[in-house]
Amino acid sequence: MSALSSTAVATELEPLVERLRPRLRRILRGYGIPPHDAEDLLQETFLAVVSKWDSIDNKEAWVIGTLRHRCARYWRERRSNVLEAVDSDLLDILSRPQPAPQDRAVLVWDLETVFETLSARHRAVLWLRFGLGLTTEEVADRLGYCPASIRKLTLRSLARLRLAVSPPPPAPPS
């Protein structure tokens, strides 16, 4: 491109950019491109326009089509990068050390032992409510109680479990 043609490109490019600015913003918003990456995509698009200026017949359509193509390519590349696709908070949670299976087995055994100290009615309510994940209304239907009674019974059952699990208070000094 000669010096004469580069000044011609510059004089024609500026009005083109001003005319297309609202449409380009809508395209970038429509594709959900973050602002810091949107600027890069626009620069790449206009560099491509300048490099092919003489061979482009309909410059407006070419700019819009090129920007759309670059936006689609942007998201394709993002999806292919697995590490960027996973949320960093989720990676932190997954990377935390997990308790050993033996620890879980001991906790389950302890819970079953304490659970057996409850009456059959309390065990049934807790098992239906938390073991099977039924709602209060569903537990009430199965056991023949009203939902308010099931709420009270659940709270009492949990309180008895807490009492059985918690260590006894220290004896007062004599």
Q: Assess if residue 173 is contained within a domain.
A: no
- 27, 71 in Cβ contact below 8 A? yes
Q: Is the confidence at residue 118, as pLDDT, over 70?
A: yes
109 and 131 co-located in one domain: yes
Q: DSSP for 148-173?
A: HHHHHHHHHHHHHHHHHHSPPPPPPP
What's the pLDDT score for residue 27? 92
Could you tell me the pTM of the whole model?
A: 0.45
Residue 110 pLDDT level (bands cut at 50, 70, 90): confident
Give the domain CATH number at 141: 1.10.10.10
Domain span including residue 107: 101-165
Query: What domain count does the chain have?
Result: 2
Task: Single out the residue in 91, 124, 152 at which a domain terminates.
Answer: 91
Domain boundary among 33, 59, 91: 91
Same domain, residue pair 81 and 32: yes
Q: By the 8 A CB rule, do 35 and 17 touch?
A: no
Residue 84 within a domain: yes
- pLDDT tens per residue, range 3-37: 446 676 778 888 888 898 899 999 999 999 998 88
Domain end residue (candidates: 48, 71, 91)? 91
Q: Give the containing element (helix H, strand E) for 46.
A: helix 35-51
Mean pLDDT of the chain: 84
Residue 76: what residue type? Answer: R
